[in-house]
Structure 1
Amino acid sequence: MSSPPYTLSSVVPPNPTTVRGQSTKLDVSPNGDRLVYTNGRSVIIRPFPNNTTSSTPAPTIIYSQHAQPVSVARISPSGAYCASADSSGLIRIWDILGSDQTLKAEYRPFAGAVRDLAWDGESKRLAVVGQGKERFGHFFFVDSGASCGEVSGHAKVVNSVALRAQRPFRAVAGGDDNNLVLYNGVPFKYASTIKEHARFVQAVAYSKDGSHFASVGSDGKVLVYEGASGEVKGKADLGAGTIFDVKFAQDGKTLLTSGADGFVRSFSVPDCGKLGEWDLKAGHGNAGDQLVGLALSSASLALALNLAGELITFDPSKPGSAPSGRHVAPTKGISAALQLKDGQVLAASWDGNVYSYRSKNGGKEWSVQPTQGYKAGGPVVTALSLAPGGDGVYAVGMDDVLRRILVSSAAPQVDNTFSASLPCAARGALAVDSASGIAYIASASSDEVLVLSPSSQKFERQKVPCTPTTTAVLADSYVAIGTQDGRVLLYEPSGKNRSLAEQSPLLTLERNRSAVTHLSFQPLPSSSSGNRVLTSADGSGKILLYSLPSGQALAGVNWVFHSSRVDSLSWLPSAGGEEDGVAVSGGLDTHLYLWERSRPMGKRDVTKNSHAGGVGWVDFVGGEREQVISAGSDGALKVWRAPAGK
């Protein structure tokens, strides 16, 4: 009987995806303890940052059942369901009380990207707006999908919609035609057009008691209206560029706005008199300080989202106060990662940053810091490897430069004294000899491997028989090179520089079915006299084990359960011999498997469907087989724990 899979112990979700010039929709659970946003094809429901009201915060949910990028997600007033919408116009309504996020219903009210959606106060109806081809929105019943009104009166894309929670029901929508349209319901019908904005309407919101609604736009105006009639009650013209979002306080007496100038401002309701402001800029270039989203948890806790993807918490009851926290995390998938000896995880993201993760409270919580010297929008790091000495990490970027990251300090930072330009494009496969410090990098543009000595900071270009795809090094011993045609070339370089020049492969291993995607050597204790084992994984999902120095494939070992490309495999450090080896692997099929040398025909499911888009990196936590850590294309870092006693 197979062992039960591992369970999710902790998760560090990615931060929201942002789009320049467009409001990012954030939502909060009815009791204010959870934050809701989207990233790629995923919906994230996580504890509200800095919220200390609950001693046992609800677990983070990452829902990844959409096939297209998700644009908005909102929790129902009942707190039982979440509605999420994507760029194809698909609406999914799913349960958030259970552990498996069961789908309740799925609808496509129009074909086109959804910009916003809103629940009514009874959790029975939804309003959806966006960039439809035949219409810009729709009102419908959650249970049946039947229409309960039409979004009419707009001539261009509708950016935002809000529903009055009390009867008589009202709805208001604003869009790129600079207009607001008010609807009476139910069923929802066109009531009037409000022409107060001179540029795009970015966001609209109703107060909790339904007595007022507000709108903000690219013209820098804030307007407050009577909730039922739409009569203008207050107006403020900031003249400070686009205002992206607006939210009412719980008591409905004040509202907050977030703008492109990096300020959050508070206004009285309904006269729209300015009460105070918060400067939340962090010195980002390229418009990164623009505040594109806003969320309120309580009277003393709110957060703003900037274009760089940072979640900035502050106290809305204390105008002018400093931010209480800046919460960073990847905004795109993980491109490379590794675990350091102290348990710290360094992960590079496709957003251009490199992040440091450190566990707290026994691994239940994690703190995340960006590496100084990298920034969002910069060259993406595609490979990481430990540098000799343990205080640094080599990083290869898409700008074809090898850098060293210093990790011994509290905050990782790029070593400005070390930089080596690659003579050709790198594939993103990097291996470092832990004894000599020599680095081997696969070329993406030629049949070459680039070899760097740390003392010279200059590369040697060394020809290999075919296009390299990945590399691995056994300290002061073998260098393995995987190739596009499924071969593994094994070298045993000698000399001070461990050069491959004018050397023929010691062995050529040819049993992989497709391009070799990952190589690794099984670690053995120094006292072991057993043969070394090399694992070779490929694009078809097959993992082969070779005994060295003979190069013979291990008989009867069938690690073939991945259904597509294997991107990562890590061995558990073993105190015994080679037969005691345990490894964990992950790949494009999103699954994690545990392999044991003592059970060559068997595997154990760590978990399936672990990361939407695939697993990019996996390892054991602190050298223990009971915990596995992984990162993937969904931008999340996850820790998995074996069931007790297993």
Structure 2
Amino acid sequence: MSDLKSELQLQSTLAAAPAMTRAQSNHISADPATAKLFAYGSANTVIVRNVEDPAQVLLSHRHSSAVTVARIAPNGLLVASGDKDGNISIWANRSDTAEKYRSKLLNGAVRDISWSDDSERVAIVGEGRGDFATVITVSGSSLGEITGHVQNIVTCDFRKTRPFKLFTGGADTKVCFYEGPPFKFAHSVASTFKATVTCVRVSPDGELVACVSGSADILILDAKTGKDVKTIPTGHQGTIYSIAWSPDSKRFTTASADKTVKTFLVESGEAVASVVLGKSIPFMQQSVFYSAAGVVSASLNGTLQFLGDGSAVQKQWYGHQKPLVGLFFDAQSNALVSFATDGVVLKWPAAAPGSAEPITVESDVINCAAPVGTTGTYVAVAGTDLVIVNPSTTGPATVLCKEANHALGVAALNNGTFVLLYRNAFSVFSAQGKKLHEEKIAQFDGSSIAVHGDIIALGGDKVVRLYKVEATGKPDLIGTFQGRHTVPVTAVAFSPDGQSVASGDSGKTIFVWSVADPSKVLYENLTFHTLRVTSLAFQGPSTLVSGSVDASVIVWDLDGKRRRVQDYAHRGGVSVVALGAPGDLFTAGGDLCIRRWAA
């Protein structure tokens, strides 16, 4: 096949949620220039978003390990990001730009980053073996030694006005004060903290520093001298992970493990607002910042809450924190539905680009999912349960049975039955969840399943088996495709008319063959991918879409013997491809984002 020069046109990106780690600070902040942009990490990707538009998303794929923090420079033009391996990248805040600086500066995870007010200096703190922090110019020149701590440093912040001063907080319960450049240790603050200092932030007017920790108090310091000013009790019942100042420096807001966000007046210490975000662990509040939209907090489950003046939830943004196992477009509701391995199911209405609605499943794991015809409902394997998910209702998923343990794939047939694929067997269940039949397949190593009407295609080790499944549950083997794949089959899909099947394998090869005569190969050796094929979908009888671990998406014009290739569609590989409205293609991948392409 010959290559077309044109690539797929990206229409939009549905952003992943911020990656959060329980029992530690997860710092997010808005850009000081406009207070509209904010950045965070998701897997190995940095995501920059706009508080005024959930559909405005910039992805940066510069890290090879999990991103732990990202901060936008005061001028809004640069971003500094760090990862769990101690690498720092400084890059222009726009797409398709080269890095200005990259280096491994710490021997452990980067935990916080702070910019000087002139956007010329960057402080980096985190974990290590003796060296827990450094200060550099944007070109990488060292600006002094950060000493004074004996354990990991988890937070830092520059004084926003000259002369430059830097504050840090660490696992050794210390708050340290530095002057420079070159930056030198001035003194540590004798505080009453008995646990890790989780966040230090200097007020926008440069007068005060607010420090929080595992205790329920806020320590206020003089930003010029580093001396203790006062302590404000908060009443929080858990660790305070984050604190943020209002733009006028007259109030600050805290986020706590007790699932609350509170706002206080600086002068009096009075609590003027408090919001409870939930009752369970996923609603622990890990970060908070002020933006052009007011106070924004982030939960452990990645949900972003927009709180206005801090007194009530005005809106929430959702996204995925774990890999997707299902992605389906429902034409009736004009919405996309996504399923992730952590049990999170989201509905993305086309009428509200970039926004998602959570669907209740009441499970912390989903193994696989499939649409139930064109009903707008879905069947999923949630741990040991086979469940029906209805995005149009507010209640939890309906449990059909509890016999789905170890299922690798699921399909809904047009006769009302469901098929669960296992490694060396498959089972047929009625619409009520009763097991009708179990078929053993010796040494099959099943991994993929597709359905058309009452016929299923099962992909296994070097083979695809076709079965016709009766409403009674009895399956009949009607064909086998073998002798062409030399490695395990990892993806299968039926053409819209059910006359052909596409099968892709772990060795990058795709075949399209006839259902009526599996020995008849219609299109062979589609081998432009370089790694395992993960997902297949037909756009028409002779147009096939494939995704791969090699991070590419390919649209194959089978009759025209042409292909359109989108390299680097998703950092970490493409896990799912799905058809949308006519001309639309959706993909999901290792960056945990969903992307819509004109195809």
Give the TM-score taking structure 1 as reference length: 0.87
Task: Identify the residue that residue 347 of structure 1 maps to in structure 2.
Answer: 338
Give the alignment of 1:449-488 within 5 angstroms.
449-455=426-432, 457-465=434-442, 466-476=444-454, 478-483=455-460, 485-488=461-464
Is residue 2:425 matched to residue 1:448?
yes
Q: CA deviation at 1:95?
A: 1.2
What displacement does 1:266 show?
2.5
Does 2:205 align with 1:212? no
- Which residue pairs with 2:198 in the alignment? 202
User: In structure 2, what is the Cα distance between the partners aligned to 1:100 and 1:517?
Assistant: 33
Q: Please state if 1:309 is matched with 2:320.
A: no
Q: Which residue of 2 aligns with 1:221?
A: 217
Q: Which amino acid aligns with 1:469?
A: S
2:471 equivalent in structure 1: 496
| Alignment equivalent of 1:422, drawn from 391, 403, 426 | 403
Q: 1:293 aligns with which of 267, 287, 291?
A: 287
User: Given that residues 338 and 384 in structure 1 are in contact (C-alpha distance below 8 angstroms), is that contact kept between their aligned partners in structure 2?
Assistant: no
Partners in 1 of 2:271 and 2:440 — Cα distance?
A: 68
SS at the partner of 2:571? Answer: coil
The equivalent residue for 2:370 is: 385
Equivalent pair of 1:154/1:179 in contact (CA under 8 Å): yes
Uncovered stretches (5+) of structure 1, i.e. residues with no partner: 525-530
CA offset at residue 154 of structure 1? Answer: 0.5
Q: Does 1:20 align with 2:5?
A: no
Shift of 1:170: 0.3
Is the 1:360–1:367 contact (alpha carbons within 8 Å) kept by the matching residues of 2? no
Q: Distance in 1 between matches of 2:29 and 2:6?
A: 36
Residue in structure 1 matched with residue 585 of structure 2 by the alignment:
628
Give the Cα–Cα distance (whole angstroms) in 2 for the partners of residues 163 and 232 of structure 1: 17
- The reply on whether 1:570 has 2:570 as its aligned counterpart is no
Distance verdict in 2 for CA 1:545–1:556, change over 3 Å: closer
Deviation per CA, 1:80-114: give whole Å up to 9, x if none. Answer: 111100011000111113x2132111022221111
Alignment of 1:468-547 (within 5 A): 468-476=446-454, 478-483=455-460, 485-493=461-469, 495-500=470-475, 503=476, 506-524=479-497, 532-547=499-514
Query: Which amino acid is 1:634 matched to?
Result: D
What's 1:612 paired with? 571
Shift of 1:308: 2.4
1:547 is displaced (CA, Å) by 1.7
Unaligned runs of 5+ in 2: none
8 Å CA contact 2:381–2:404 kept in 1: the answer is: no
1:554 aligns with 2:533: no
Contact 1:36 1:44 in 2 (8 A): yes
Task: Please name the residue that 1:87 is paired with.
Answer: 84
CA shift for structure 1 position 369: 1.4
Q: Is the 8 A contact 1:294 1:304 kept in 2?
A: yes
Are residue 640 (structure 1) and residue 560 (structure 2) matched? no
In the alignment, the residues of structure 1 paired with residue 127 and residue 137 of structure 2 have an alpha-carbon distance, to the nearest angstrom, of 21
Structure 2 equivalent of residue 254 of structure 1: 251
Q: List per-residue Cα deviations over 1:513-564 (Å, max 9, x = no partner).
A: 211111111112xxxxxx8111111111111011231223435644211111
1:188-238 alpha-carbon deviations (Å, 9 max, x no partner): 001011021232111001122212211111111112211110122231123
> In 2, are the aligned partners of 1:479 and 1:490 still within 8 Å (CA)?
yes
Stretch deviating more after TM superposition (28-37 or 170-179):
28-37
The secondary structure found in structure 1 opposite 2:182 is: coil
Within 2, Cα distance between the matches of 1:620 and 1:21? Answer: 40
- Aligned AA for 1:23? S
Q: Provide the identity percentage.
A: 25
Distance 1:563-1:443 versus aligned 2 partners, 3 A rule: same
Distance 1:591 1:214 in 2: 46
Give the Å deviation of 1:137. Answer: 0.7
Deviation at 1:272, TM superposition (A): 5.3
Amino acid at match of 2:464: V
- C-alpha contact 1:546 1:552 (8 A) present in aligned 2: yes
Residue 322, structure 1, aligned to residue 322, structure 2:
no
Aligned length: 592
Which consecutive segments of 4 or more residues in structure 1 shift more than 4 A?
none
Which whole-Å CA distance do the structure 2 matches of 1:458 and 1:558 have between them? 39
Give the whole-Å Cα distance in 1 for the aligned partners of 2:489 and 2:315: 44
Alpha-carbon distance between aligned partners in 1 of 2:368 and 2:117, rounded to the nearest angstrom: 49
Q: CA deviation at 1:250?
A: 1.1
The residue type equivalent to 1:344 in the other structure is A
Question: Is the Cα–Cα contact under 8 Å of residues 35 and 291 in structure 2 kept in the other structure?
Answer: yes
Tell me what 1:5 maps to.
Answer: 7
Judged with a 3 Å threshold, the aligned counterparts in structure 2 of structure 1 residues 553 and 90 are, in CA distance, closer, same or farther, namely farther
Question: 1 CA distance for matches of 2:68 and 2:202?
Answer: 21
Separation in structure 2 between the aligned mates of residue 353 and residue 58 of structure 1, nearest angstrom: 20
Shift in alpha-carbon separation, 1:112–1:389, aligned structure 2, 3 A: closer
Q: Report the CA distance shift for 1:627/1:463 in structure 2 as closer, same or farther (over 3 A).
A: same
Aligned-pair CA distance for 1:632: 1.8
Change (3 A) 1:139 1:456: closer
Give the secondary structure class of the aligned counterpart of 1:288. Answer: helix
Shift of 1:43: 1.0
Pairwise CA RMSD = 2.1
Q: Do the aligned residues in 1 keep the contact of 2:69 with 2:112 (CA within 8 Å)?
A: yes
Deviation at 1:506, TM superposition (A): 3.1
Q: Does 1:184 align with 2:176?
A: no
Q: 1:157 Cα shift? A: 1.1
Q: Which residue identity is paired with 1:541?
A: K
